[in-house]
Amino acid sequence: MSHEIAIDAAAETLWTHWQQGTRLGALPEHARPASREQGYAIQARLAARSGRPLFGWKIAATSVAGQRHIHVDGPLAGRLLGERIHPPGGTIPFGTNHMRVAEAEFAFRMAADLAPRATEYTVDDVLARVGTLHPAIEIPDSRYDDFTIVGAAQLIADNACAHYFTLGPSAPDTWRGIDLARHAVTGDVAGTLRRDGVGSNVLGDPRIALAWLVNELSSLGITLRAGEVVTTGTCLVPLPIAPGDRVVMDFGALGVVEVNLGA
């Protein structure tokens, strides 16, 4: 089987499982990525099956604990697909989700393109191209029976566990003067489970995570486009969820975002 056919076969397999809410143990050996680069190639073909413009990007495994949990040695980038975006206050289908967690995330909407270049972008370079900051909720999932054992390349191919996403209202412009690394966040599920988090849980600072994503895309020859959103990873231990729950993430002065989970 040729390399191109194998990439397409892997993308089609993952897309089919995603749409049907089914899972697999691992990609077939003939189509299994052997490197992060091959994983990203499959991810791109997976996203090409979407019928809507790309909404943005996500980062998975932005904490040491998260990396240990899924046995990877660094963060992973994934795409946020337009048909998987739900408005704040709306209802997200629960379906067959087997990760069954909600994550509180700092998300940035870009105001200008960041094209690939030979030198790395600094945090300041990237922040100069940010338009707005938003509180956000990610409801991740995986197409693998056990996503903790398949490795980084297969997780990247599976869109870094992307699933559903909600972008909250833009924060006040004063966010640029706030130390996001020290900024506290509280998550609440169904009014019965509460957890506290902080921005430093995201690669030490959500702004550092954003720069990591830009440089990861740059290394792959991908431009981060104006208007696209980057969500930077969970800043608190993911909250267990169940059908019918209401999820509220409180970012204090930066705003509140909430969603309901369907049956």
Contacts within 8 Å (CB) and 24+ apart, 142-146: 142/23, 142/98, 142/99, 143/14, 143/17, 143/18, 143/22, 143/23, 143/24, 144/23, 144/24, 144/25, 144/26, 145/23, 145/24, 145/25, 146/25
**% of the chain exceeding 90 in pLDDT:** 97
- Report, as an integer, the average pLDDT of 29-37: 96
What confidence tier does 162 reach under pLDDT thresholds 50, 70, 90?
Answer: very high
Give the N- to C-terminal CA distance of the chain in Å, as an integer.
42
What is the model's pLDDT at position 1? 56
pLDDT tens track for 126-148: 999 999 999 999 999 999 999 99
182 vs 138: CA distance, rounded Å: 21
- Report, as an integer, the average pLDDT of 238-252: 98
- Report, as an integer, the average pLDDT of 236-256: 98
150 vs 33: CA distance, rounded Å: 11
Angle (CA) 19 45 17, round 5°? 20
Domains of the chain with bracketed CATH: 3-261 (3.90.850.10)
pLDDT tens track for 5-30: 899 999 999 999 999 999 999 999 99
What is the model's pLDDT at position 209? 98
The pTM of this model reads 0.97
- Report, as an integer, the average pLDDT of 90-111: 98
pLDDT tens track for 167-225: 999 999 999 999 999 999 999 999 999 999 999 999 999 999 999 999 999 999 999 99
Please determine, for residue 263, whether its predicted confidence score (pLDDT) is greater than 90: no
What is the model's pLDDT at position 78? 98
Please determine, for residue 227, whether its predicted confidence score (pLDDT) is greater than 80: yes
170 vs 153: CA distance, rounded Å: 33
